[in-house]
Amino acid sequence: MKGNTTRLLVCFTGVLAAILLAGASAGAAPQKELPRIVVLRCGRLLDVKRGTLERNQVIVVTGNTITAVGPAATVRIPESAETMDLSRATCLPGLADMHTHLIDDAEGYAVAGPLTRSGAQLAFSSIPHAQATLDAGFTSVRDVGTYRAFVDVALRDAINRGIVPGPRIQPAGAYVTITGGAGALTGLAPDVELPRELRFGVADGTDQVRQRVRDIIRNGAGMIKVLATGAVLTPGSTPGAQEFTEEELRAAVEEAKKAGLKVACHAHGAAGAKAAIRAGVASIEHGSYLDEEALQMMKERGVFFVADPYNSVAIYQNKSYLDEFMEKNRQTTEAQIRAFRRALELGVRIAYGTDAAVIPHGDNGRQFATYVELGMTPLQAIRTATTEAAELLGWSDRTGSIEPGKLADIIAVRENPLENIRTLEQVVFVMKDGKVFKNEK
């Protein structure tokens, strides 16, 4: 009897040990997958902060982050690293466009254009726009407004989830504009009632402005876009005329600030721009008629000038635009060139913005040559789309330069952009967040 009891005890102990071992195995944490390590061997590397062009450099990317940068002879290369040969190219940070409209194309600026397509159609048609922008080397953008509210927010979210390719987006969600203003759909019969998504940001008076801004933020905007003056591509609008009051603009800035967001202000006219500057906006978009006082105010307060002189070329080439648009474009272009040159003389901070879709999506890099023609050095022009743009975005800790700890947003071009700025019009390699989206090395 005693022997049977002993055998039962041994058997029970063995079963219990097996159960505990199985439980331990089942409960054990799965082994973490090691991040992918990629090494870029760059023939030339533009250090946009120091303004130097270094040769035979190596960039080590671990996951989505830059972990080492330096001469190929001294940087330690991990054994598991995958190497990409860019030895015949110039590497530089991913570029950033501070004024895009990825949801739109040129047809969207025709009278009633936004009424001809549903929100779903606009969302799908924006996908190739985002792809073209990324292929052009622009890994980050501010998307500063769409007539159909929050399609840009949906595009940002789809890109962030990896559903579609595109740049990192800071979306405005909707235009904040007065009734019949620069960001409103105008030119329609007076008895046409627009659905709410096509007039979401229309506001009159400080209380309405606050409410609209709060609603836009609640629906996922990453910035706020206000329109302080008339516009070129809005029927019946006078670009130089002020629309929002300073009090209304300040209400928008205050509400955005509570949520940690910045405000971009469309302003052609000097009076509207100065009201916006006093109200505390982060940037003036277009700025065609900026006068000396406005530019001095921007210099003193660190307000960015997002100038888009190249888009006038696209407007002149678009034969579908109204004669009214063409005439307003002629007037504002000449004025903006004068304002741009004076801003450059004064040292006003300038950030790169193209107004795509007014220019074709994917042509974003063509404006660098225009900046240089108007007096910038190639390095200054490149900084407007790297270090300066990153500052305006509030992302200087993540983007704008190639440094350890920054996100791996890296592009490459065939030539030296300090000698030939137009090489930025033909980007051959694009990495965003450590993932390669284009490689024509």
What is the mean pLDDT of the segment spanning 272-301? Answer: 98
d(CA 416, CA 423) in angstroms, rounded, equals 7
Residue 79: per-residue pLDDT: 86
- Taking the C-alpha atoms of 50, 53, 54 and 59 in order, what is their torsion angle to the nearest 10 degrees? 80
Does the annotation count 225 as an active-site position?
Answer: yes
Q: Is residue 20 part of a domain?
A: no
Residue 193: per-residue pLDDT: 87
Q: Is residue 21 part of a domain?
A: no
Regarding whether 281 and 209 lie in a shared domain, the answer is yes
Q: Contact at 8 Å (CB) between 229 and 290?
A: no
The angle at the Cα of 236, spanning 363 to 119, to the nearest 5 degrees, equals 55
Strand order in the sheet with 175-176: 175-176, 224-227, 263-267, 283-286, 304-307, 350-352
Q: Is residue 217 part of a domain?
A: yes
Q: Which of 104, 105, 135, 225 is catalytic?
A: 225
Domain that holds residue 44: 37-94+402-439
Q: Is residue 427 part of a domain?
A: yes
Residue 113: per-residue pLDDT: 76
Looking only at the bridges linking them, the beta strands covering 224-227 and 175-176 are parallel
- The end-to-end CA distance of the chain, in Å, is 83
Residue 31: per-residue pLDDT: 62
Q: Contact at 8 Å (CB) between 268 and 232?
A: yes
Q: Is residue 16 part of a domain?
A: no
Provide the whole-model pTM.
0.91
Regarding whether 387 and 407 lie in a shared domain, the answer is no
Q: Is residue 287 part of a domain?
A: yes
Q: Is residue 216 part of a domain?
A: yes
Place of tokens 């090395």: 441
Joined tokens for residue 344 = 């450059």
The CATH number linked to 53 is 2.30.40.10
- Please state whether 290 falls in left (phi above 0), alpha (psi between -120 and 50) or beta: beta
Regarding whether 334 and 199 lie in a shared domain, the answer is yes
Regarding whether 301 and 211 lie in a shared domain, the answer is yes
Query: Closest Cα to residue 66, out of 87, 45, 43, 51?
Result: 45
Regarding whether 194 and 51 lie in a shared domain, the answer is no
Q: Contact at 8 Å (CB) between 130 and 159?
A: yes
Banded model confidence at residue 188, pLDDT cuts 50, 70, 90: confident
Query: Closest Cα to residue 105, out of 371, 285, 268, 318?
Result: 318
Question: Percent of the chain scored above 70 by pLDDT?
Answer: 92
Using the 3D structure, point to which of 393, 412, 431 is the last residue of a domain. Answer: 393
Q: Contact at 8 Å (CB) between 94 and 133?
A: no
What is the mean pLDDT of the segment spanning 413-425? Answer: 98
Regarding whether 69 and 183 lie in a shared domain, the answer is no
Residue 147: per-residue pLDDT: 94
In order of 104, 172, 398, 436, the CA distances from 151 in angstroms are 10, 10, 25, 26
Q: What are the backbone dihedrals phi and psi of residue 289, each rounded to the nearest 5 degrees, phi first? A: -105, 25
Regarding whether 277 and 352 lie in a shared domain, the answer is yes
Q: Which of 104, 355, 363, 409 is catalytic?
A: 355
Regarding whether 288 and 361 lie in a shared domain, the answer is yes
Regarding whether 121 and 85 lie in a shared domain, the answer is no
Residue 313: per-residue pLDDT: 85
Residue 173 above 80 pLDDT? yes
Residue 3 above 60 pLDDT? no
Banded model confidence at residue 5, pLDDT cuts 50, 70, 90: very low
Regarding whether 281 and 224 lie in a shared domain, the answer is yes
Residue 109: per-residue pLDDT: 64
- Please state whether 192 falls in left (phi above 0), alpha (psi between -120 and 50) or beta: beta
What is the mean pLDDT of the segment spanning 394-422? Answer: 98
Q: Is residue 68 part of a domain?
A: yes
Q: Contact at 8 Å (CB) between 137 and 128?
A: no
Residue 102 above 50 pLDDT? yes
d(CA 26, CA 22) in angstroms, rounded, equals 6
Which stretches of 164-221 are DSSP H helices? 206-218
Residue 245 above 80 pLDDT? yes
Handedness of CA 32, 38, 39, 42 (dihedral sign): negative
What is the mean pLDDT of the segment spanning 19-33? Answer: 51
Q: How many structural domains are present in the chain?
A: 2
Residue 24 above 50 pLDDT? no
Judged by average pLDDT, the poorest of 34-38, 54-58, 145-149 is 34-38
Joined tokens for residue 83 = 């190497």
d(CA 172, CA 146) in angstroms, rounded, equals 8
Handedness of CA 276, 277, 279, 285 (dihedral sign): positive
The angle at the Cα of 150, spanning 177 to 219, to the nearest 5 degrees, equals 90
Regarding whether 192 and 202 lie in a shared domain, the answer is yes
In order of 186, 229, 305, 318, the CA distances from 107 in angstroms are 15, 23, 27, 10
The CATH number linked to 117 is 3.20.20.140
Average pLDDT, the chain: 92
Regarding whether 145 and 281 lie in a shared domain, the answer is yes
Joined tokens for residue 222 = 């990453």
Q: Contact at 8 Å (CB) between 137 and 426?
A: no
Joined tokens for residue 126 = 């924006």
Q: Return the exposure string of 314-334: e unless at least 16 CB atoms fall within 10 Å of the residue's CB, then b.
A: bbeebeebeeebeebbeebbe
